[in-house]
Amino acid sequence: MNEQNIFIVRTGEVALKGMNKPYFERKLVERIRTKLASVSEALEQQGEGKIEVYRKEGLVFIRSPKSLPEEQILKPVSRIFGVSSISPAVEAPSDLDEIGNEAVRFMLKQIEEKGVKTFKVEAKRADKAFPVKSPDIARIIGAKVLIGCKVLKVDVHNPDVRLHVDVRKDESFIYDSKVSGMGGLPLGTNGKGLVLFSGGIDSPVASWMMAKRGMQIEVVHYHSYPYTSKRAQEKVQRLVQIIAGYTGRIRMHVINLLPIQEEIVANCPEEETTILVRRFMMKIAEEVARRNRCQMLITGEDLGQVASQTADALVVTDAAVSCPVMRPLIGMDKVDIMDMAREIGTYETSIEPYEDCCTVFLPKHPVTKPKLEQILTSESKLDCETLIRDAVNSEEVITVNPE
């Protein structure tokens, strides 16, 4: 029997990257090592060995001491972006007799622990130099299992166990299950973006979606204390913490927007308040992004959802900045966004009834089709440069770690 547990990690979309595939695989290995680092260190301190992560022949492998429960590998690794699926496996030399013996031991354990009665062998010959083709491998291994496990029968349509046999050059692997992963691309393979992060449903989902595409994220959060409460900011921090469970630690830039809002209310038309505040948010975010080497801004805006998210309003908002603005939710239905929030674990926190800065000084009838010329005229009444500089310089930076 093997002295270690072994897991096969599949990379899904990464496999399509052609000549760049090794780069993405290295990044994924780094992410897995980082995710499992604390567990590995604890095992070493106890003298039980360590966790090894490496890539070979288009797959990523994890080896861990037998004393470590499989779930402590499966659960965290399945939540890493870039992982398509992960399987606990056993290994054997790439020899049909050895593979057959290991397959019999594997199935005897399945019979003892789960009471299985039927099986099917599905073989894959990754090493094309291996002299036996995949259908014949399945037939030979299936016959050995039938001889070694008298209670089993073959069921090719609906078996209790699908026994996968993956024959490779140096060693072969046997497994019966695939734990689904997050998919996407490894974090850090697609630059860095700054998320305008509120306490609502949308921005956490937008953050998660961009991180899934391999983008590292930082977040900027605006408050209007004392009109908004400290508990509202704590709620936002908990949402960022949930996202950090997928990405690792996240830097959160907290900025007081109240002085800017008060200036807008005092000097500009009431119906333009929402769009003017939104433009200042974008300008401040652009400066924060520049200082922190973020290449683009990310928002949770959804076309037509509120007054500041009409097509006309988005055009005027984008005119405030020169850097790209990503809106991953732009064409989604609100119901679909809510479903995704539930799936990633942010929904229940997002719907907690704490106000955010966007609810402060709301006009009764916000303009839905703003004209850029008119908005620029209103902005000319304000000392925009000073207001933005003061806001950025007064930021509080919080490092948010996963739970």
Question: Are 268 and 358 found together in one domain?
Answer: yes
Enumerate long-range contacts of 43-48, CB under 8 Å, 24 or more apart: 43/67, 43/68
Does residue 284 share a domain with residue 373?
yes
CATH number of the domain within which 319 lies: 3.40.50.620
Q: What pLDDT was estimated at residue 17?
A: 75
Last residue of a domain, one of 36, 57, 92: 92
180 belongs to a structural domain = no
Backbone angles phi, psi at 219, to 5 degrees: -130, 150
Q: Are residues 334 and 385 in the same domain?
A: yes
Does 1 score more than 70 pLDDT? no
Report CA Rg, the chain.
27
In a domain, residue 174? The reply is no
Same domain, 126 and 137: yes
For residue range 213-239, what is the model confidence (pLDDT) as tens digits?
999 999 999 998 887 778 888 999 999
Q: For residue 148, what is the domain's CATH number?
A: 3.30.2130.30
> Does the pLDDT value for residue 250 go beyond 70?
yes
Contact 86, 10 (CB under 8 A): yes
Query: Annotated binding site for ATP, which residues?
Result: 196-197, 221-222, 278, 300, 309
Whether the per-residue pLDDT at 314 is higher than 50: the answer is yes
CA distance 171 to 62: 15
Pairing of strands 396-400, 296-298: unpaired
Q: Which of 73, 92, 111 is the last residue of a domain?
A: 92
Q: By residue range, what is the domain housing residue 7?
A: 1-92
Domain check: are 251 and 311 in the same one?
yes
pLDDT value of residue 231 = 87
Angstrom distance (rounded) from CA 182 to CA 209: 11
Q: Which of these three, 92, 122, 144, is where a domain ends?
A: 92
What's the pLDDT score for residue 348? 96
| Whether 250 and 301 share a structural domain | yes
Least confident of 177-181, 243-247, 331-335, 362-366: 362-366
- Is residue 183 in a domain? no
Average pLDDT score, the chain: 93
Is residue 179 assigned to a domain?
no
Local structure of 300: helix, strand or coil: coil
Same domain flag for 140 and 199: no
Residue type, position 106, single letter: F
pLDDT for residue 79: 94
Domain-located, residue 260: yes
Q: What is the pLDDT of residues 185-221, one digit of tens each?
A: 999 999 999 999 988 999 999 999 999 999 999 999 9
Q: How far apart are CA 149 and CA 326, in angstroms?
A: 57
- Strands 296-298 and 192-196 come out as parallel
Please indicate whether residue 83 or residue 365 has the higher confidence score (pLDDT): 83
Q: Convert the pLDDT of each residue in 15-74 to its tens digit.
A: 777 788 889 999 999 999 999 999 999 999 999 999 999 998 888 999 999 999 999 999
Rounded mean pLDDT, 289-313: 92
Share of the chain above pLDDT 90, in %: 84
Instruction: State the average pLDDT over residues 160-169.
Output: 95
Q: Are 232 and 292 part of one and the same domain?
A: yes
Confidence of residue 307 (pLDDT cuts 50, 70, 90): confident
Give the integer Cα–Cα distance in Å for 348 and 218: 22
What is the pLDDT confidence band of residue 360, given thresholds at 50, 70 and 90? low
In this structure, the answer to whether residues 86 and 101 fall within a common structural domain is no
Q: Are residues 82 and 113 in the same domain?
A: no
Question: Given a cut of 60, is residue 2 above it in pLDDT?
Answer: no
Query: Which has the higher per-residue pLDDT, 7 or 17?
Result: 7
For residues 253 and 378, membership in a common domain is answered with yes
How much of the chain exceeds pLDDT 70, in percent? 98
Domain membership flag for residue 354:
yes
Query: What is the band of 356 on the pLDDT scale with cuts at 50, 70, 90?
Result: low
Q: Is residue 186 part of a domain?
A: no
Residue 45 is which amino acid? Q
pTM for the full predicted model: 0.89
Lowest mean pLDDT among 169-183, 197-211, 350-364: 350-364
Q: Which residues are annotated as a binding site?
A: 196-197, 221-222, 278, 300, 309
Write the pLDDT tens digit of every residue in 116-149. 999 999 999 998 999 999 999 999 999 999 999 9
Question: Could you give the number of structural domains in the chain?
Answer: 3
pLDDT reading at 328 higher than 50: yes
233 shares a domain with 333: yes
Would 177 be classed as within a structural domain?
A: no
